Amino acid sequence: MRREPPRSLADYAPLVFPALMLTVFFVVPFSIMIAVSFFRRDPAGFYTPDFVVDNYARFLSSFFGGVLGFSLMLAVLVAACCVAIAFPFTFLLIRCSRRVQTVWLVGLLSVLSLSEVIIGFAWSTLFSRTAGITNLLVAVGLMDAPQALLPGFGAVLTGMVYQALPYTVLVLYPALVRLDPTLLEAARTLGASPLRAFFNVVVPALRNTIVATLIMVFVFALGSYLLPQILGRPQHWTLSVLITDQAIYQSNMPFAAAMAVFLVLISLALVGLTLMVGRRESAA
Amino acid sequence: MTVTLLRRLYFALVALFLAAPLLVVLGVSVNEKQDLSFPPKGFSLSWYGQIFLDPAWRSALVASVLLALAAAALAVAIALPLAWFLWRRIAPWANVFQALGLAPFILPPVITALGFLSFWATAGFYGQAWTAAISHAIFFVTLPLVTLSLGFASIDRSLVEAAATMGADDRIVLRTVVLPLILPYMVSGYAFAFVLSLNEYIIAYMTVGFTMETLPIKIFNALRYGYTPTMAAVSVFFVAVAALVFGLIAWFGDIRRLLGAMGSEKS
């Protein structure tokens, strides 16, 4: 049975349920959110229908500019750290036996599926004064007294790298598996050291993959909504945290929606960029 | 020689980084008294009992599991016909729905959560438990969609061709050839969606956060009133469930293939 175009209306039947569900529960909510971003805030309820651009005008404040700048900077840092750690790691992983690979993949998936709540809780425990890592340092005599390592920028960055690292490995994994092993063999035969072969052959050959992964991890990190709140101070809050805060605690749905629309535009632009990079790779 | 040593060291460092917070949480969860000290003082598993004995924690656990079971089932129910149609028919415009199925997973989750909040609030169902199940199903439909698409792509079309030549119609082919072949992919898609739904916080919070407590919501709410060993025990429980489910997928299926290591069966 070859693939064939649908001939009768009945051939479309399987598509009805998925199409209906995705339209009603994804496209419609999305459209409502865009509409709400132009509505007026109603302190008593959710919003009043209207058409105002005030919610977007608030972007022009220096406070919002600061939050946006910080969110982007943090996401760039997280993406850079993750790719720097994950790329050599994944490269080495695909050279391991099937069994070792399977164990690692199960472990990475388990960490990746963890709730941000749990990751936040775990790191805030690890960084705390009472149960933290500094107790170990005191025990071995490296420190005089245990101290809290949070809240702070370092804690936020560590937590977010932890959250995004398994994701980075799993994004890189298929690309690195497809890498032609003869490339590396050729470099080694010609006398390059393993490190030299890695940096002069593997990294340039996968340049586009690295760029695409950086962007994917960047978008992933932009979505982190709890870690900056649990591990950082208010000045470490990102756009995602601010959206949650405005929607739930300040009950300002229209402003939250406007920020979300803005975040969608940034993310979509970056995903589009990734697709373009990927296309160039397959064309080359 | 030194290369192997360096590789081992690097792997050990990454493993330590990934395991450290979980080990501390594990240590904290067996404290005898209700304080979070590490290394733990005394040994007690009573905090694990709390998850099932304390009514508040137990109802959160039940709510989470029911939500995840329902959401994962609905996600597969949406993904299966869609993936089948995309495999069976040539209809380029139908790829729009595939893109719609993948979008919630790529966009920051806050956006999807806010979309659902405004949708359910506008529709007047805000806070009902079933709205969370539908929202999770849409949010996680990506996972069964990806595993099922992989499953369909792996079907040898000559098998289907043979069945058709022998006189089987679409329905019989689907039931006797296609479904048995993609069953493992369906199960793993369900399992992925289940585990992630169990752990999901922001969408559950924005849809039913004020009327129902799932485990992640309960942990987050409890964080504000101070840390208890029960929270650590629940976290360990989560890690164990995830590791168990993914371990089972790896045991019965080929997790490397699922994660995109196509064509590496030779190794």
Residue B89, SS3?
Answer: strand
Q: Whole-angstrom Cα distance, residue A197 to residue A186? A: 9
Q: How many CA atoms lie within 13 A of A234 on its CB side?
A: 2
Per CB-CB distance under 8 Å, the chain B contacts of A121 are 25, 219, 223, 227, 231-232, 235
The dihedrals phi and psi of B108, each to the nearest 5 degrees, come to -55, 135
Chain A (96-135) residues lying within 8 Å, Cβ to Cβ, of chain B = 98, 101-102, 105-111, 113-126, 128, 130-133, 135
Q: Which residue of A has its CA nearest to B240?
A: A110
Q: Do A115 and B219 touch (CB under 8 A)?
A: yes
| Nearest chain A CA: its distance from B77 CA (Å) | 8
Number of domains in chain A: 1
What sign does the dihedral A110-A113-A114-A119 (CA atoms) show? positive
**CATH number for position A203:** 1.10.3720.10
The CATH code belonging to domain B66-213 is 1.10.3720.10
CA distances from A140 to A133, A146, B45 (A): 11, 12, 28
CA angle B69, B206, A247 (to 5 degrees): 170
| Angle formed at CA B22 by CA B253 and CA B14, multiple of 5 degrees | 70
User: How would you write the pLDDT of chain B (267 residues) with one tens digit per residue?
Assistant: 677 888 889 999 999 999 988 888 888 888 777 776 767 777 878 888 888 888 888 999 999 999 999 999 999 999 999 999 998 888 888 888 888 888 888 888 988 999 998 899 888 888 888 999 999 999 999 999 988 988 888 888 888 888 888 888 888 888 888 888 889 889 989 999 999 999 999 999 988 888 888 999 988 888 887 778 888 888 898 899 999 999 998 888 878 877 875 433 333
CB–CB of A22 and B141 under 8 A? yes
The pTM (predicted TM-score) of the whole model is 0.87
SS3 state at A152? coil
Model pLDDT, residue A104: 92
Q: Environment class of residue B99 by beta-carbon count within 10 Å: exposed (0-12), middle (13-18) or buried (19+)?
A: exposed
Chain A partners within 8 Å of B205 (Cβ): 248
Contact B114 A247 (CB under 8 A): yes
Alpha-carbon distance B34 to A130, whole Å? 13
Reduced to 3 states, what is the DSSP secondary structure of residue A162? helix
User: Would you say residue A276 lies in a domain?
Assistant: yes
Structural domain of A206:
66-283
pLDDT tens digits, one per residue of A19-69: 999 999 999 998 988 888 888 877 666 677 777 777 787 777 778 888 888
Structure tokens at A186: 């050729």
Say whether B21 and A123 touch across the interface (CB within 8 A).
yes
| Sequence letter at residue A17 | F
Annotated domain spans of chain B: 66-213
Contact A247 B117 (CB under 8 A): yes
Supply the ipTM of this predicted assembly: 0.85
